[in-house]
C-alpha cells in the first residue's frame, strides 16, 4: 500500500480518500432522508386529530439538556480529531470515550422524553402529529444509538491497533457522522421544539 | 398449526397452485444439478463470494432477464384477460395482483438491475479502473437487490401478492383495504433492494470521481460513464425519499401509526407526493444510462465522434435537476389547485427541451456518418421514432388542463410504455448485443438479432398504439374487464396480438443466446465492433484485473485515437496489481436481510429481532476485520495476457 506522508493519516492512501468521499456522498443521502422527515413533519405538525398538540407536550428542560449534551459531544469529538492529527493517541481515545459517554447520556434523556410522551397520551399511534414527531426524533435517536455501537468498535480498534491509516480513516469518518447528527439536532431543536412551543 | 396459517394464500387459484408445484420442482432440479455436477464449491467461490465488478454485472444481467420473463408473464396474462369483453380468465383480485407485480417487477427488479448490469460491467472499464471504489459494498448492493427481488417473488405463493398497484397509494394500501400481507411484501422488498441501490449510487459516484485513468478529465469521459454518473447522483438524492415513505407506510400497517390514514390527522396524499418525488427521478435513473448506451452505439456505428458532446452532458445535468421538480404531474386531478398544476405543467414540458437536444444530437451524429446497420444500431434506430411517439404524448399529458381527459386511462398506459420500452428496454437489448462479446467472449448472431429487433419493435407498436385510441375513448386503466358495448374490444384484441409478438421476440432472444453459445466463433479479438472507447482495449472476455497496464487517456475516444491517430494507450511498464479478496459476508448479510424482511412481513417478532441483531453482528464483524487484499504479480499478468491475446 502506498502511503503519502505529506497528507494527514486519514487521507494518506487512495482507499482512504475514496472512503471519505464516499461517506460525504452518504451524508448527502442522509440529508435527503432527514429532509423528507422534516417535510413530513411540517405537513403533519398541525394535524393532531383528537391527540395533543406540540405546545401541550413539549418541555423545555429535557430538550435543553439534550441540546447542550449533544453540542458538547460535537466539540469533544473535534478535540479528538485534533489529538489524532497531533498523533496523541491517548488524548484522542479519551476524547472519543467522553464523546460516547455524552452520546449515551443524550440517549438516556431522549428515552426519558419518549416515555414521558407515552405517559401523557402522546404515543406514536395517537395522531399524524405524534407519528411524525416520534418518527423524526426516533430516526435521529436510532442514528445516535448506531453511532454509539460504531464508536465503541472504533475505540476498541484504536486501543488494539493504534493509529494506522485505517484506524485514523475510520475515526475521521466517525467524526463526520457525529457532527452530522449534531447538525440534524440543531434543525430538530429549531424547527420541531422551538417552533412547536410558540 | 395456527401459526402456519398465516402463510396460506388468501385468494388461491389453480394457476397459483401450478406455480407452487413448478417452483418446487425448479428448486429440486437446481439442487440436483448443482450436487450432481459438484458445482456447489464453484458457485460459492466464483459467484456468491465474488467482489469482481464484472461478475456482479453478469449476475445483475441474469437476474434482470429472469425478472423480465416474470414481468412478461404477468403482462401476457393481463393482455389475454383484456383481449375480449367480459372475459373470465382472471377475476378482479387476480388482475389487481398481476398489474401490481407487473409494474413493480418491471421497474424495480428488471429495468434497474439491467441498468446496474451495464453500469457495473462497463463503467470501470470505460474509465480504466481495476474495480469500483468499494468492491465489497458492490457485492452487498447486488445481494440486497437480489434478496429484495426474491422476497417480492415468493409473495404470490406464500401469503399473497401485493394488490394495491405498483404505486401502492394509501389509503388503498392500508390494512383496511389491503388486509393480506401482500403490501408488506411490497414495502420490504422495495426497502431492501432500495438500500442496495443507494449503496451502488455512492459506490459509482466515488468510482467515477476518483478512479479515472490518468488524462481522463471529466469532459473526456465516455458518454455512458457520464450518464451513469448523473443517474447515480439522482439515485443518492431520490432513494432516501423512498426509504422514508416506505418506512412510514410500514409503520402505518404494522404499528398503527397515522401517517397516511384518513383518520386522526393522517394524510393519504403525502404518500402520493413522496412516492413520486422518488418515482419521477427514478424514471430518469433508468432512462439516462439507456441514453448513454445509445450514444455509445450510435457513435460507434456511424464511425463518427458523438455530435454535441458538451450539450449532451449539459442536457443530462438539466434533466437530472428538472426530474425533481415535476412529480405533481402524476396526480394533476387530485386537487392541488390551478396554480400548482400550472407550475408543474411548465416544468414537465421543459424537460422535453433537453431531451429534444439529445435526440437532435443523435440525428446529427448520424448525419454524414458512415452508418453500419448492426443489431445494436438497428435497436437504436428503431428507438428514435418510437420513443418520440411516447415523448410527445408525454407533453400532451403534461398539460394539466388536458390531463383531466387522459388521467387514469389507457392513454397514459400507452404513453409510459412507449417511452420505457423504446427508451429503456430497446437500449438494454441494444447494449446486450453490443457488450455481449465483452462479457462472454463471443458475439450474438446478427441475423437472428436483427429479426428479433424488428419483431419486438412491431410488437411494441401493435401492443401500445391501440391503447392511445381506447384510452382517448375512455377505457380506464387497471379495470379487469369491460362490456362489449364500449367498443374497446377491437383495440384490446390488437394489443393482445402485439403482446404475442413481444413474446415471440423474447423467445427469439433466448434462442439467439442458445444458438450463439453453440455456433458463434470464439476468436473474435478484442475489438469486434471497431469501437471507440477504452473498454474495448481489453481482451474478450476481460481478465479479472481488467487492464494489465495503466491506460493513459488523451481524448473522449482514446481507444480510437490509439488505433488511428498514434496515441500510445499503455506507456507504462507492468506493475503488480492490488486486488480485493473475495468475501462471503455480503451474501450472508443479504440472506439475513431476507429473513429480516420475511419476519416483518408476517409480523413474526422474535425472528425479526434475531435477524436485526444478526445484521448488526455482521456489520460489527466487518468493522473489526482486516482486509488487505492481495497482489497479482507481473509474472502472472504476463502469462495471462499472453494466453488471452495469443488467440488473436
Are the Cβ atoms of A18 and B134 closer than 8 angstroms? yes
Alpha helix positions (H), chain A:
14-44, 54-57, 60-85, 89-119, 128-161, 165-187, 195-197
Cα Rg of chain A (Å, integer): 19
> Cα–Cα distance between A13 and A104 in angstroms, integer?
33
ipTM of the complex, rounded to two decimals: 0.94
Give the chain B residue nearest A38 (alpha carbons).
B244
A140 touches B at CB < 8 Å: no
Is B558 a domain residue? no
Are the Cβ atoms of A18 and B198 closer than 8 angstroms? no
A129 touches B at CB < 8 Å: yes
| pLDDT for the residue numbered A1 | 57
> Cα–Cα distance between A166 and B124 in angstroms, integer?
24
| pLDDT for the residue numbered B522 | 87
pLDDT digits (tens, 9 = 90+) for A83-99: 999 999 999 999 999 99
The confidence band for B648, taking pLDDT boundaries of 50, 70 and 90, is: very low
Residues of chain A scoring pLDDT < 70: 1
Q: Which residues contact B234 (CB under 8 A, 6 or more apart)?
A: B281, B284, B285, B288, B320, B323
Domain span holding position A26: 9-197
> Cα–Cα distance between B411 and B407 in angstroms, integer?
8
> Cα–Cα distance between B595 and B577 in angstroms, integer?
38
B524 touches A at CB < 8 Å: no
Average pLDDT over residues B374-385: 95
| pLDDT for the residue numbered B424 | 95
Average pLDDT over residues B572-600: 94
Is A2 a domain residue? no
pLDDT digits (tens, 9 = 90+) for A105-142: 999 999 999 999 999 989 999 999 999 999 999 999 99
**Interface with chain A: mutation pick from B170, B201, B258, highest number of A CBs within 10 Å:** B258
Return phi, psi of residue B368, to 5°: 60, 15
Average pLDDT over residues B389-399: 92
Give the chain B residue nearest A166 (alpha carbons).
B626
Is B378 a domain residue? no
Residues of A in contact with B134 (CB under 8 A): 18-19, 22
Number of domains in chain B: 1
How many Cα neighbours within 13 Å face the side chain of B319? Answer: 27
Task: Residue B111: name the closest of B272, B357, B296, B279 by CA.
Answer: B279
A61 touches B at CB < 8 Å: no
B266 touches A at CB < 8 Å: yes
pLDDT digits (tens, 9 = 90+) for B485-503: 999 999 999 999 999 999 9
Domain span holding position B203: 1-282
| pLDDT for the residue numbered A107 | 96
Give the chain A residue nearest B204 (alpha carbons).
A22
* 3-state SS class at B331: helix
Average pLDDT over residues B563-574: 90
Angstroms from B485 CA to nearest CA on chain A: 46
> Cα–Cα distance between B308 and B360 in angstroms, integer?
9
Give the chain B residue nearest A2 (alpha carbons).
B578
Give the chain B residue nearest A26 (alpha carbons).
B202
Angstroms from B261 CA to nearest CA on chain A: 8
> Cα–Cα distance between B467 and B476 in angstroms, integer?
10
Task: Residue A25: name the closest of B163, B551, B235 by CA.
Answer: B235
Contacts 24+ apart (CB under 8 A), B599-608: B600/B184, B600/B188, B600/B250, B600/B254, B601/B151, B601/B159, B601/B181, B601/B184, B601/B185, B601/B188, B602/B6, B602/B7, B602/B159, B602/B181, B602/B184, B603/B254
Is B76 a domain residue? yes
Is A3 a domain residue? no
Are the Cβ atoms of B237 and A132 closer than 8 angstroms? no
Query: Using an 8 Å Cβ cutoff, are B199 and B593 in contact?
Result: no
pLDDT digits (tens, 9 = 90+) for B231-267: 999 999 999 999 999 999 999 999 999 999 998 999 9
Residues of B in contact with A125 (CB under 8 A): 255-258
| pLDDT for the residue numbered B640 | 86
**Interface with chain A: mutation pick from B170, B206, B246, highest number of A CBs within 10 Å:** B206
Residues of B in contact with A52 (CB under 8 A): none
Number of domains in chain A: 1
Mean residue pLDDT of chain B comes to 93
First to last CA, chain B: 65
Residues of B in contact with A145 (CB under 8 A): none
CATH code: domain of residue B88: 1.20.210.10
Residues of A in contact with B238 (CB under 8 A): 32
Angstroms from A21 CA to nearest CA on chain B: 7
* 3-state SS class at B578: strand
pLDDT digits (tens, 9 = 90+) for B144-166: 999 999 999 999 889 989 999 99
Query: Using an 8 Å Cβ cutoff, are B647 and B524 in contact?
Result: no
CB atoms < 10 A from the CB of B628, how many? 10
B292 touches A at CB < 8 Å: no
> Cα–Cα distance between B432 and A16 in angstroms, integer?
35
Q: Strands, DSSP E only, in B38-150?
A: none
B6 touches A at CB < 8 Å: no
A32 closest CB neighbour out of B203, B240, B257: B240
Average pLDDT over residues B78-102: 94
Give the chain A residue nearest B256 (alpha carbons).
A125
Are the Cβ atoms of B265 and A44 closer than 8 angstroms? yes
Average pLDDT over residues B199-222: 95
Give the chain B residue nearest A41 (alpha carbons).
B259
pLDDT digits (tens, 9 = 90+) for B435-477: 999 999 999 999 999 999 999 999 999 999 999 999 999 999 9
Is B547 a domain residue? no
Are the Cβ atoms of B205 and A25 closer than 8 angstroms? yes
DSSP state of B266: -
> Cα–Cα distance between B608 and B594 in angstroms, integer?
10
A168 touches B at CB < 8 Å: no
Cα angle B84, B86, B91 (rounded to 5 degrees) comes to 110
- Largest CA-CA distance found in chain A, in angstroms, rounded: 63
Query: Is a pLDDT exceeding 80 seen at residue B646?
Result: no
Are the Cβ atoms of B237 and A29 closer than 8 angstroms? yes
| pLDDT for the residue numbered B1 | 61
The confidence band for B98, taking pLDDT boundaries of 50, 70 and 90, is: very high
Continuous segment of H or E residues that includes residue B497: helix B489-519
Return phi, psi of residue B522, to 5°: -95, -20
Is B4 a domain residue? yes
Residues of B in contact with A159 (CB under 8 A): none
Is A72 a domain residue? yes
CATH code: domain of residue A56: 1.20.120.80
Return phi, psi of residue B528, to 5°: -65, -25
Distance from the Cα of residue B264 to its chain's centroid: 38
**Interface with chain A: mutation pick from B244, B254, B268, highest number of A CBs within 10 Å:** B244
Are the Cβ atoms of B267 and A50 closer than 8 angstroms? no
pLDDT digits (tens, 9 = 90+) for B10-50: 888 888 888 888 888 989 999 999 999 989 999 999 999 99
B244 touches A at CB < 8 Å: yes
* 3-state SS class at B579: strand
What is the DSSP pairing of strand B630-632 with strand B577-579?
Answer: antiparallel
Distance from the Cα of residue B564 to its chain's centroid: 36
Query: Using an 8 Å Cβ cutoff, are B81 and B90 in contact?
Result: yes
Task: Residue B526: name the closest of B407, B645, B446, B434 by CA.
Answer: B645
Is B74 a domain residue? yes
Are the Cβ atoms of A18 and B251 closer than 8 angstroms? no
Amino acid at each position: 500500500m502506498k502511503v503519502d506522508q505529506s497528507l494527514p493519516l486519514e487521507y494518506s492512501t487512495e482507499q482512504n480518500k475514496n472512503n471519505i468521499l464516499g461517506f460525504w456522498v452518504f451524508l448527502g443521502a442522509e440529508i435527503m432522508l432527514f429532509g423528507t422527515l422534516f417535510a413530513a413533519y411540517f405537513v403533519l405538525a398541525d394535524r393532531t386529530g383528537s391527540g395533543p398538540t406540540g405546545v401541550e407536550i413539549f418541555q423545555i428542560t429535557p430538550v435543553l439538556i439534550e441540546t447542550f449534551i449533544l453540542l458538547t459531544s460535537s466539540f469533544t469529538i473535534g478535540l479528538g480529531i485534533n489529538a489524532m492529527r497531533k498523533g496523541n493517541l491517548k488524548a484522542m481515545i479519551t476524547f472519543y470515550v467522553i464523546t460516547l459517554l455524552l452520546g449515551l447520556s443524550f440517549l438516556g434523556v431522549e428515552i426519558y422524553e419518549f416515555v414521558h410522551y407515552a405517559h401523557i397520551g402522546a404515543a406514536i399511534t395517537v395522531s399524524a402529529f405524534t407519528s411524525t414527531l416520534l418518527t423524526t426524533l426516533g430516526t435521529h435517536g436510532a442514528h445516535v444509538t448506531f453511532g454509539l455501537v460504531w464508536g465503541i468498535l472504533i475505540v476498541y480498534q484504536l486501543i488494539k491497533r493504534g493509529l494506522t491509516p485505517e484506524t485514523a480513516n475510520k475515526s475521521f469518518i466517525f467524526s463526520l457522522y457525529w457532527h452530522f447528527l449534531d447538525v440534524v439536532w440543531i434543525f430538530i431543536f429549531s424547527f420541531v421544539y422551538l417552533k412547536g412551543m410558540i | 398449526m395456527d401459526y402456519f396459517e398465516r402463510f396460506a394464500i388468501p385468494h388461491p387459484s389453480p394457476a397459483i397452485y401450478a406455480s407452487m408445484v413448478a417452483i418446487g420442482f425448479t428448486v429440486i432440479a437446481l439442487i440436483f444439478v448443482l450436487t450432481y455436477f459438484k458445482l456447489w464449491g464453484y458457485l460459492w467461490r466464483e459467484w456468491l463470494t465474488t467482489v469482481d465488478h464484472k461478475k456482479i454485472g453478469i449476475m445483475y444481467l441474469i437476474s434482470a432477464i429472469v425478472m423480465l420473463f416474470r414481468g412478461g408473464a404477468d403482462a401476457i396474462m393481463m393482455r389475454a384477460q383484456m383481449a375480449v369483453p367480459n372475459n373470465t380468465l382472471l377475476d378482479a383480485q387476480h388482475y389487481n395482483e398481476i398489474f401490481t407485480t407487473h409494474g413493480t417487477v418491471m421497474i424495480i427488479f428488471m429495468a434497474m438491475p439491467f441498468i446496474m448490469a451495464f453500469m457495473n460491467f462497463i463503467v470501470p472499464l470505460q474509465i480504466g479502473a481495476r474495480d469500483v471504489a468499494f468492491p465489497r459494498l458492490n457485492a452487498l448492493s447486488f445481494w440486497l437487490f437480489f434478496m429484495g427481488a426474491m422476497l417480492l417473488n415468493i409473495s404470490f405463493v406464500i401469503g399473497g401478492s401485493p394488490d394495491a398497484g405498483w404505486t401502492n397509494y394509501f389509503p388503498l394500501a392500508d390494512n383496511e383495504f389491503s388486509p393480506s400481507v401482500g403490501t408488506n411484501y411490497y414495502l420490504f422488498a422495495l426497502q431492501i433492494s432500495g438500500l442496495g441501490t443507494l449503496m451502488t449510487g455512492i459506490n459509482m459516484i466515488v468510482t467515477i470521481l476518483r478512479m479515472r485513468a490518468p488524462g481522463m478529465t471529466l469532459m473526456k469521459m465516455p458518454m455512458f460513464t457520464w450518464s451513469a454518473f448523473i443517474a447515480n447522483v439522482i439515485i443518492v438524492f431520490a432513494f432516501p425519499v423512498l426509504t422514508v415513505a416506505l418506512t412510514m407506510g410500514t409503520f402505518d400497517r404494522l404499528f398503527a401509526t397515522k401517517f397516511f390514514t384518513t383518520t386522526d390527522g393522517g394524510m393519504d396524499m403525502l404518500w402520493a407526493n413522496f412516492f413520486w418525488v422518488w418515482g419521477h427521478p427514478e424514471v430518469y435513473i433508468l432512462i439516462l444510462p439507456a441514453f448513454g448506451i445509445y450514444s455509445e452505439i450510435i457513435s460507434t456505428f456511424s464511425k463518427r465522434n458523438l455530435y454535441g458532446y458538451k450539450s449532451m452532458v449539459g442536457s443530462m445535468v438539466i434533466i437530472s435537476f428538472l426530474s425533481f421538480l415535476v412529480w405533481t404531474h402524476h396526480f394533476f386531478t387530485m386537487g392541488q389547485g390551478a396554480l400548482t398544476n400550472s407550475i408543474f405543467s411548465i416544468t414537465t414540458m421543459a424537460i422535453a427541451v433537453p431531451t429534444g437536444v439529445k435526440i437532435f444530437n443523435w440525428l446529427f451524429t448520424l448525419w454524414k456518418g458512415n452508418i453500419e446497420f448492426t443489431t445494436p444500431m438497428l435497436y437504436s434506430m428503431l428507438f428514435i421514432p418510437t420513443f418520440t411517439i411516447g415523448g410527445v404524448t408525454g407533453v400532451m399529458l403534461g398539460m394539466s388542463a388536458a390531463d383531466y381527459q387522459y388521467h387514469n386511462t389507457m392513454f397514459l398506459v400507452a404513453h409510459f410504455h412507449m417511452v420505457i420500452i423504446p427508451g429503456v428496454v430497446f437500449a438494454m437489448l441494444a447494449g446486450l448485443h453490443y457488450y455481449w462479446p465483452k462479457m462472454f467472449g463471443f458475439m450474438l448472431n446478427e441475423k437472428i438479432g436483427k429479426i428479433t429487433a424488428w419483431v419486438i419493435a412491431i410488437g411494441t407498436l401493435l401492443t401500445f398504439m391501440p391503447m392511445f385510441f381506447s384510452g382517448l375513448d375512455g377505457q380506464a386503466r387497471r379495470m379487469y374487464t369491460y362490456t362489449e358495448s364500449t367498443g374497446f374490444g377491437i383495440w384490446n384484441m390488437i394489443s393482445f396480438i402485439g403482446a404475442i409478438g413481444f413474446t415471440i421476440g423474447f423467445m427469439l432472444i433466448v434462442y439467439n443466446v442458445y444458438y450463439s453459445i453453440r455456433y458463434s466463433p470464439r476468436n473474435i479479438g478484442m475489438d469486434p465492433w471497431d469501437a471507440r472507447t477504452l473498454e474495448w482495449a481489453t481482451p474478450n472476455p476481460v481478465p479479472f484485473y481488467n487492464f494489465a497496464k495503466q491506460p493513459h487517456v488523451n481524448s473522449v475516444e482514446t481507444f480510437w485515437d490509439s488505433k488511428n491517430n498514434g496515441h500510445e494507450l499503455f506507456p507504462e511498464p507492468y506493475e503488480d496489481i492490488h486486488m480485493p479478496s473475495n468475501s462471503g459476508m455480503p451474501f450472508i448479510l443479504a440472506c439475513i436481510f431476507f429473513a429480516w424482511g420475511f419476519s416483518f412481513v408476517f409480523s413474526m417478532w422474535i425472528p425479526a429481532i434475531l435477524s436485526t441483531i444478526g445484521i448488526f453482528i455482521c456489520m460489527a464483524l466487518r468493522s473489526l476485520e482486516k482486509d488487505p487484499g492481495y497482489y497479482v504479480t507481473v509474472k502472472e499478468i504476463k502469462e495471462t495476457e499472453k494466453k488471452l491475446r495469443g488467440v488473436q
